[in-house]
Amino acid sequence: MPPLKPASVASAILHCRCPRCHEGDLFVHPGHYHLSGLLDMPDTCPVCGRDIQIEPGFYLGAMWISYPIVMVLLIVSLLVSYLVFRLDLLVSFGIALALLLVLLPLILRYSRVLFLYLFARD
């Protein structure tokens, strides 16, 4: 398989596609807010057959990716609401937590996708 352009890799990550073929879905349910099966992943890529469930506990490492994402979102939203809009600190925390709660499904999924792309590329 010829090497792909960086734009196609970025597009595959954005659309949660297989790191090998960039076509197969990494999640059983394509909607990011299908909460009952949010992190359900097939064992193999439906297109190329690449093993997606690398080993038991493999995706626990995705926490190392989700943590900095959450911290950046938390700090930026706190700074913007408290310093720019001059809101009360407690209100700023409430806004930051609401933002993180709304974005949590995206953070969880994309941290898994990024972890897979970083450590299991063919």
Q: What is the pLDDT of residues 58-109, one digit of tens each?
A: 999 999 999 999 999 999 999 999 999 999 999 999 999 999 999 999 999 9
Residue 94 is predicted with a pLDDT of 96
Backbone dihedral angles phi then psi of residue 4, each to the nearest 5 degrees: -95, 155
Q: List Cα–Cα distances, 51 to 12, 40, 58, 75, in angstroms.
A: 17, 14, 12, 36
pTM of the model: 0.87
What share of the chain in percent tops pLDDT 70? Answer: 93
For the cut 60, the answer to whether the pLDDT of residue 3 exceeds it is no
